[in-house]
A and B are shown apart, each in its own frame.
Chain A
Amino acid sequence: MFESLGGRLEGALSRIRGKSRLTQADVEETLIEIRRALLDADVNLAVVDSVAERVRAAAVGAMASPSLTPGQQVVKAVHDELIRVLGQETFRIRYAPAPPTVVLLAGLQGSGKTTAAGKLALHFKTAGRLPMLVAADLQRPGAVLQLEVLGKQIAVPVFSEATDPVKVATRGVAEARRLGRDVVIVDTAGRLAIDEPLMAEMAAINDAITPDYRFLVIDAMIGQDSVEIARRFDAELEISGVILTKLDGDARGGAALSVKEVVGKPVAFASVGEKLEDFEPFYPDRMASRILGMGDVLSLIERAESTMDQEVAQRGADRLKEGKFDLEDFLDQLRQVRRMGPLKGVLSMLPGVPKELRNQDIDEAEIDRVEAIISSMTPTERRNPTLIDFSRRTRIAAGSGTSPTDVQVLLKKFKEMSKMMRQIGVGPKSATRKRAASGRKRRKR
């Protein structure tokens, strides 16, 4: 897995963070790291270079101001730069004064147009509109049927006929008008941006139905070619914006940044899951965080949602809040967490995890041992670990194939962690006590 840009910056900056002064060499080193990380996030090379230039300017400024923490300033400069490129505003649909509002979807094969059409229709329907879908992809086998199935699932009518794409689109829009539908979404066949006959057909559809919105559907996993593809579709269609699909994957989605910077067209919507309702307006600030690496939290949540048992998770959360989290709960949660995959991978996605911890090699066999130790305790022992004396410890060690010392270490660490949990505010009562205590200490000094 790629380390997040945030993580890599942290690495690059760890050397200079403590310095009160940045040298030219420090800046260059950091810029190389920033550049690589952005390229690994599939940000287009031209955009990477311009971002790096502006960050350099900021860093040079930081070199000149010894009173501030220069490292932090560089990080902030990168973040600000990403936000600046992505823009602050969320795209808003303005409905046509004379309905229907016509929306045309275009893009490469496999970018997810048909699914996006269904999701967009549901989005409009949820907003209280009366959408209609038009199946003008007569190219891919099964595409019309796919849209019809989607339409059925969300109870939105689908227009299709076996003529040609321009006719289907034109008659589809006319049909929507006749039926009093106020938004029409036209799905088209996937095409390569360089396929001239098919791009001409796209232009013909565009001319025939004069859409209010022309969206280019782009896969979040796309590489350096995103800019070229967007440019060509924009030249042909004058696109209104981009729909970014498959954003629920772990791709960083550098395409969003690239297309906005080079073609000047914003990302309007993002598809964030497999269900039809997993579709939302695009939030530029969230994307900046994702590219910087904070977005991992979202994928983590995603993964937790898809693998964890809701009741068990909720019970664990409740027990933590009540400050009653014991080894029984720990075992439950441990088994849940392990379902998400290798622990090291999961841990690397958590924000704010100290670097030493993130880089710690976690041997899954060791976790097996932790599980074995707790499994070898009686339920009473798990509820109340203070019961565990020498003889019980020996029994548990024998039962789990470990040593009494292992058992002892686990119990000790669990106790320390439970205490820490309460201190960081999970258990409300003890948190106040801790704050009071440390306050008193400070006053004494």
Chain B
Amino acid sequence: MEYLVIALVLLVLLGFVATKGRRGRVPAAEVVQEVAAPSAVPARIAEEVGDFAAKEPSYAGSLSRSRGPFSQLFARIRGVGEVDAVAAQVEETLILADLGPALAEAISGDLRRSLGGKSLDSESVRQALATELKARFLEADRTLDYGDHKPGVVLFVGVNGTGKTTTIGKLAAHLAGEGVKVTVAAGDTFRAAATEQVSAWADQAGVDLVSGQAGADPASVIYDAIEHAAAIGSDVVLCDTAGRLQNKGNLMDELRKIRRVAEKGAGAVTEVLLVIDATTGQNGLAQARAFGEAVSVTGVVLTKLDGSSKGGVAVAIESTLGLPVKLVGLGEGIGALRAFDVDAFVDGLLGENG
């Protein structure tokens, strides 16, 4: 107990710094009501959303931009005969792909062992590395669970700007196309025009949308959406939430409340998906930990894989925290949101041949 008391009193000193007062969120609130939406904008939005629907990328195509360091790696290996040098280069490449130093070291260590005594041409290294990488993923069921009791509730959570709203829009369109009856809950009542953004997507997908006033309690907007979905017989409710940084205690509390309240509705929360941007570095692990603790995340959505980023932090999240990647965003089109496929991801990243 000795350390405990020392610790507590140290913390009491914190009182000194907390004089600026409680910091809550100041929502866009009524202002949205005052700004008359410029008449040209909705048409424009519809047009843009329409454009998105046309493109249908593949894993290999989208990841071709991410492949750079790996291609260079395999090109370099041609001139290297020594296993330690190869392993060191693999480690560097994995670090550049955002897998993080610890995982990169572990994988290159395993690779060194599995390559021992074998010929070191780029193809054998590529295959061995592919095997090692694939082995880091879970043998998990990656399909989204909507449960047996209608409606299944899916919460989308994550830090700001990862693509939650866009993912919901695309998933709604995709599910609607399969004949699933979808309700979208516009639970981001904080960011200015977030509701308008998600409603443009819902219109495009032709699905039902429940929204509240800007600045409304997000938990109650989501609760209302679930009740409404149950009343009209929707199969699934996709719930948007405002982006929040995982170190903001009060905002994480708000998210806990959203989950609690969502459980009280007519349906059941069947998935809580953490949306992570593929450009994210090692902070992605901190995000997965914090959101996982707060709202029991069930899976990861890895977005924006069509850039030059590799999304390696998702590998680290899956292998160290056991959270399966369930969906990936391979591009801007509605068809670019895909079920995650470990083999296609790893092969796309490493290239078909060196």
A: residues with CB less than 8 A from B are: 1-2, 35-36, 39-42, 45, 108-112, 138-146, 148-150, 152-153, 160-162, 192-194, 219, 221-226, 228-229, 246, 248-252, 254-255, 273-275, 299-310, 312-314, 316-317, 320, 325, 329-330, 333-334, 336-337, 339-341, 343, 346-347, 350, 353, 356-357, 360, 362, 366-367, 370, 406, 409-410, 413-414, 416-417, 420-421, 426
Contact = CB atoms under 8 A, between A and B. Distances in A.
B43 interface: yes
Contacts of B28: 149-150, 153
Given A152-B34, A275-B26, A310-B20, A111 B161 contact: yes
A105 to B, nearest CB: 14
Given A251-B281, A313-B18, 6 more contacts: A141-B196, A146-B194, A162-B43, A222-B279, A314-B19, A333-B15
Contacts of B289: 1
Contacts of A150: 28, 192
B45 A142 contact: yes
B100 to A, nearest CB: 7
A55 to B, nearest CB: 16
B17 A39 contact: no
Given A39-B95, A223-B309, A251-B283, A333 B3 contact: no
A417 B15 CA distance: 16
A366 B5 CA distance: 11
Interface of B: 1-26, 28, 31-32, 34-35, 37-38, 40-41, 43-45, 48-49, 65, 92, 95-98, 100-102, 159-163, 191-194, 196-197, 200-201, 245-251, 277, 279-287, 289, 304, 306-310, 312-313
A195 to B, nearest CB: 8
Given A249-B245, A413-B1, A109 B304 contact: yes
B197 A229 contact: no
Contacts, number: 296
A249 B252 CA distance: 13
A383 to B, nearest CB: 17
Nearest to B91: A45
A123 B35 CA distance: 22
Contact of B160 (A39, A112, A367): A112
Contacts of A340: 249
Contacts of A310: 18-22
Contacts of A148: 35, 38, 193
A221 B159 contact: yes
A407 to B, nearest CB: 11
A162 B24 CA distance: 35
A40 B2 contact: no
A360 B3 CA distance: 8
A420 B200 CA distance: 61
Contacts of B192: 145-146, 149-150, 153
A417 B32 contact: no
B197 A140 contact: yes
Nearest to B43: A162
A142 B200 contact: yes
Contacts of B310: 225
A397 B6 CA distance: 22
Contacts of A252: 283
Given A221-B280, A301-B17, A313-B19, A141 B250 contact: no
Nearest to A334: B8
Contacts of B286: 1-2, 250-251
A360 B44 CA distance: 58
Contacts of B191: 146
Nearest to A160: B38
Contacts of B160: 110, 112, 246
Contact of A413 (B5, B24, B194): B5
Nearest to A333: B12
B283 A221 contact: yes
